[in-house]
Amino acid sequence: MSLVHGTEAPSPWVRQWTHLIAPGGSVLDVACGHGRHMQWLQAQGLKVVGVDRQAEAIAQVATWGEAILADIENGPWPLPGRQFDALVVTNYLWRPLWPRLLESLAPGGVLIYETFATGQETIGKPSRPEFLLRPGELLTLCQSLRVVAFEDGYQPKPPKFVQRIVARRESSGNGLPDRHALSLECEFTHQTG
């Protein structure tokens, strides 16, 4: 028996980079599905907002934060003027939405994005080009942000072609780059070393 999409464990990519989100910060989970990331982020002490077009999914995720039912591909952006300390997007790509996503990222905010890439069409779905990132496309889309981590390639388990990025909107305003630990191990080493 297979799991309902969006009910599997949180993405390792999201879990790996959650530490970059400001403690107690606000997070927008775009196309949140059944809330696997909302539940994870809420358990980390973050304030979570999820948006999805599936009423059944939105009814389920209200337990973990603010749940917004909206068709973000065919309707108006449901969060005009709101900014978040982080945006989480996984297994979702709608290129016309990109400017809205960037507008929704507050100064110092973190974008954690992971979705299918070119090559996926050779092994399964999605297979249509409009749902697959082109090589290095996330780097281009994030050129106004500071890239913290990027991956683009084949993942054997589960098998998929994927592109992932973590990028931060600089907040200092003084010309100096923001400081952020690349991993939790770096934080612990620095604090104890």
CA-to-CA dists, residue 31 to 46, 97, 170, angstroms = 18, 12, 25
Burial class (CB in 10 A: 0-12, 13-18, 19+), 146: middle
Q: Average pLDDT over the chain, rounded to whole? A: 89
Q: What does pTM read for this prediction?
A: 0.87
- What domains are there in the chain, each with its CATH number? 12-192 (3.40.50.150)
The confidence band for 8, taking pLDDT boundaries of 50, 70 and 90, is confident
- The model's pLDDT over 90-134, given as tens digits with 9 standing for 90+, comes to 999 999 999 999 999 999 999 999 999 999 999 999 999 999 999
Q: Estimate the share of the chain in helix, then strand, then coil, as percent rounded to the nearest 5.
A: 30, 30, 40
Which residue in 108, 191, 186, 90 sits closest to 145, CA to CA?
108
Angle value at C-alpha 95, between 90 and 100, nearest 5 degrees: 85
Strand-pairing partners, residue 149, are 166
The C-alpha atoms of residue 94 and residue 144 are separated, in whole angstroms, by 19
- The model's pLDDT over 39-65, given as tens digits with 9 standing for 90+, comes to 999 999 999 999 999 999 999 999 999
